[in-house]
Amino acid sequence: MNRRDFIKQIGMVTLGGAVAPLVWPRAAEAAWQAGSGAALRIRETHLRFRSLENRDATDVIILHHIGNTNADVSAATVHQWHLANGWAGIGYHYVIRKNGTIERGRPRDTVGAHCYGENWHSVGVNLVGNFETAWPTDAQVDAAERLVARLCMMYGLRPGEDTIKGHRDFNATACPGQHLYDLLPDVIAGVQERYGI
Ligand SMILES: [Zn+2]
């Protein structure tokens, strides 16, 4: 079922036994966060971009790895790499460090530069590392689940195979690396659990 059909079919979704609007108002999101016991912390990076475009559709979250290094690189470092490519700045919206710290990349509601042909309707999340050879840390996977669950709530997405993808699902690339890609079903299940479905 695509997102449009899904929205048509159910305007409401059951969350933790209570019926809540599919698109959460900010107050509801704040209440949920307060009650969840683990508020999601985003480390602000205050990066400067050349130019950015607002994104007016969001129906999928796309996971990436760094790939060419397994180093614990920061959003600021990736920002410099992507500026050097001639881009507006870092192409991902979030970078998850080895210790689970979530750093802000491109502002959340802007068009990213992380998945050819899909940037207009997606959020890009990068777990740093090379997951062809190494494995993501437990802290990274945990942070990814918490972040993606929150993004699903914010954008009114039902977490599942249609809404949480790996880069290789769209483009000819090894990204997000075989080891993270193998974990994707577990990540989706973890997001669903946090989301309450
Ligand atoms: Zn990628």
Q: Summarize the confidence of residues 47-64 as an average pLDDT.
A: 97
Predicted local confidence at residue 17, as pLDDT: 42
> For residues 9 and 6, what is the distance between their CA atoms, to the nearest angstrom?
5
Using alpha carbons only, give the angle 102, 107, 52 rounded to the nearest 5 degrees: 145
Rounded to the nearest whole angstrom, what is the distance from the C-alpha of residue 173 to the centroid of ligand 1? 7
Rounded to the nearest whole angstrom, what is the distance from the C-alpha of residue 94 to the centroid of ligand 1? 12
Rounded to the nearest whole angstrom, what is the distance from the C-alpha of residue 37 to the centroid of ligand 1? 31
Give yes or no for a contact between 136 and 190, defined as CB atoms under 8 angstroms apart.
no
Predicted local confidence at residue 89, as pLDDT: 98
pTM, full prediction: 0.82
Rounded to the nearest whole angstrom, what is the distance from the C-alpha of residue 146 to the centroid of ligand 1? 20
**Is the per-residue pLDDT at 4 higher than 50?**
no
Give tens-digit pLDDT for 61-77: 999 999 999 999 999 99
Rounded to the nearest whole angstrom, what is the distance from the C-alpha of residue 1 to the centroid of ligand 1? 25
Give tens-digit pLDDT for 104-142: 999 999 999 999 999 999 999 999 999 999 999 999 999
Burial class (CB in 10 A: 0-12, 13-18, 19+), 165: buried
Rounded to the nearest whole angstrom, what is the distance from the C-alpha of residue 178 to the centroid of ligand 1? 12
Closest Cα partner for 63 from 124, 149, 145? Answer: 124
Rounded to the nearest whole angstrom, what is the distance from the C-alpha of residue 9 to the centroid of ligand 1? 32
Give yes or no for a contact between 197 and 15, defined as CB atoms under 8 angstroms apart.
yes
Least confident range of 36-50, 76-90, 130-144, 177-191: 36-50
Rounded to the nearest whole angstrom, what is the distance from the C-alpha of residue 76 to the centroid of ligand 1? 17
Rounded to the nearest whole angstrom, what is the distance from the C-alpha of residue 115 to the centroid of ligand 1? 6
Band of pLDDT at residue 38, cut at 50, 70 and 90: low
Q: Summarize the confidence of residues 96-100 as an average pLDDT.
A: 98
Rounded to the nearest whole angstrom, what is the distance from the C-alpha of residue 175 to the centroid of ligand 1? 5
Other C-beta atoms closer than 10 Å to the C-beta of 4 total 9
Predicted local confidence at residue 15, as pLDDT: 41
Query: What domains, with CATH codes, occur in the chain?
Result: 41-195 (3.40.80.10)
Higher pLDDT, 8 or 132: 132
